[in-house]
Structure 1
Amino acid sequence: MTTLIDRANSLIDGDAASTNELEALKVDLISRLREISAAVQEENARIERPVTVEDHEQAEQELKRLRVEDGIIHRLIDKLTRAKTRAAAREAIASADTDRKALADAVAKVETLKRQYQNAVSQAEGLAEQMRQSLEVVQDPAARNINGGEAVGADHTTAARLAELTLDLTGALAPNKRDAFIRKLVQPEALQKAS
């Protein structure tokens, strides 16, 4: 059973074994302890039967070897418990590092979306100012009949559509800020005069 003990020493003394590997090792060690217990009973029964001196000595040697192996495995199981604690700590740290990276990635994505949103709002505000100026031109009687009799600037339908799109863009704004922005975009009195 030297192979099992060697494997146990390698896993327990190293820093690469996972908690799953160590748990599987514990199962194997406990299974071996059961085998040793059965073998000890068998050797004790063998000694109690009428045997030759040679057989008696062999049985005693085997019992001694089994007791040594039993002691080694019990010590390995004690060390295994500490190794599992270290492995669990390593895995928790690795998991936390992964979680921190995922959180950092999520924050970066949200910040990117926020910048894109702010850019879109800025563009919409620029369009709102253009619309306001355009509506002022439409109100000017002197500008009504140029360009072949067509009104200059945006008409009522265009203004309403821009207001609708801007409302979509500003949906995340606080209600009072959004309403003020929409009032700036489309002034009802200007639209009434323009129509």
Structure 2
Amino acid sequence: MNEFLSPIFISLKISLVASVIVAIFGITVSRLMARRTFRGKSIVDTVIMLPLVLPPSVVGFILLVLFGASSPIGQWIEAVFRHPLVFTWQAGVVAASVVAFPLMYQSAKVGFEAVDRDIEDAARVDGAGRWTVLRLISIPLASNALISGMILSFARALGEFGATLMFAGNLPGKTQTMPTAIYVAIDSGQMNLAWAWVLVTVFVSMGMLFLSYRSTIKM
């Protein structure tokens, strides 16, 4: 039973943590991009959305180069935390966050762009600060888009395979998620176990998509 439940719990843990990280950074960056115009904005947009179209193996390779043991960042992380980032569940969080971020960013950006600027300007005239306007006006008015983005980000993180396999590995009980567990089960001929994980993944993903659809039709 533990062999079956472990990848599920690890997948949910990684996806939940990644969703929180993606939500925080996604809301922050999308708010800035939705309200500012500057030279090179389209290039920045392209870079942000790039993980959505890149092969997961390419994303995993880039993460290995940036955070591997031979990189300055990787060496700094190992010196501070006494452990390398690669082949840990935290590495799975990083990989899932990178591939899921574009979905959160795009959805949040659309939501913030739809907020009437006159309402925000009126609040500023009444003395509301930037944080107050964001917290009490912009985020509530864009809440449906933000919720949809968070749900889609969670679903994308849950299904991440290539980048996670390269960057976090496939260590049973430590970094093995449902997608990697399914791959191993099929490769070893354990079709019943693979089917069980597939059904769990499909059930959770369908639930996330249904919630996303419900939040979208309310916009």
Same-fold status (TM-score > 0.5): no
Q: TM-score, normalised by structure 2?
A: 0.23
Structure number with greater Rg is 1
Q: Which has the higher helix share?
A: 1
Q: Which has the higher contact order (CA 8 A, sep 6+)?
A: 2
